[in-house]
Structure 1
Amino acid sequence: MRVVGLTGGIGSGKSTVAKMFESLGVPVYIADERAKKLMNTQPNLIKQLKELLGEKAYDANGLNRAYIAQKVFTDKALLQQLNNIVHPAVADDFKVWVENQKTSTPYVIKEAAILFENGGYKNFDFTILVTAPEESRITRVMKRDGVTRQSVLDRIENQWSDSEKVVLADIVISNRDLEKTLPIVKKIHNKILFKR
């Protein structure tokens, strides 16, 4: 079974592309969703995050994402410390998830915002990068998350640029128009299925 990494900057549409692969029957691990679950359920993680970010990291509903985003996306050192806590837990969870997939599945996908920045791309058989024009990304995230333009720019600032990622990616999907993206995904899917 092949393990494929799928990534892209915030607002690029990587989650939408992941859903397209999922609709084709491919098991997809969404790292951000799993990270949220782990951060809300693993006592050791909760303890470490409170020590790093303070008690306000959690509220009555669990993980206080708005508070955490406000703290870490304007402080690169703090973001790195957060990643150093969360990423190993997600990596361990992903290994268990892969082992639990059907052996008849030709490949699985891990969708994650950060694959190249932390060297994680080396753990995949190959990688797919989803790109989109920056202005489209900003507009999408503002609409999706109800945040300010500056908030989105702060997050983009903390990620590698597409030009840095393109040189490491095996496949690049330019996600300008969803109607044109789906046939590209189908083509990639077929290529993976029949690749020897």
Structure 2
Amino acid sequence: MAAPVGVDRDTVVAAAAALVSEAGRVDAVSLRQVAERVGVRTQSLYAHVDGLDDLRRALAVVGLVRLGDALTDAAIGRSGPEAVEAIVRAYVRFALDEPGLYDATLVVPGDDVEVAATMTAVGRPLNLVFRSYGYDEADALHWYRIVFAAVHGYALMRRDGLFTMPADPDETLDRMIAVFVRELEATAPV
């Protein structure tokens, strides 16, 4: 059976991304579901993707591009503490609104040039803020890891309902951002 007109790799990946968004989990999407969504047999997908691993790699790129766009949009026109806050909030919002695609972004790029490039784009807004504070590349890397680890942990705990104590999780996020800003400013080289 020939693939329907208009079915190409982009169509397959877009269908998979929609399924991931609906399911909220990247591992909940199968090749069979994607094939049904685009109206082909599962075997026909192999003309467009090299199996499930290749499809998940493509979903990582989609998620990273969308996350990078969200962080860049949040940072535009902002600097210093305002930029830090906007970027962190955009990161959390993406992780909560798109849990499946967010999870898809959590990959090791290895020697995959496209994945590495999209990861660099995700880090660019925060790294520009770190540079504006005068941090060199090594210090900016440490700061990026600190912010990413905290934001990632917060987002997963929030998403999974693990903030069960009575304190408001939004206030926790406010305080986390305040700690980042205070420490960035206190230790800035300039």
- Whether TM-score is above 0.5 comes out as no
Give TM-score, length-normalised by structure 2.
Answer: 0.36
Q: Higher strand share goes to which structure?
A: 1
Q: Larger RCO: Structure 1 or Structure 2 (Cα < 8 Å, ≥ 6 residues apart)? A: 1
Q: Higher helix share goes to which structure?
A: 2
Give TM-score, length-normalised by structure 1.
Answer: 0.35
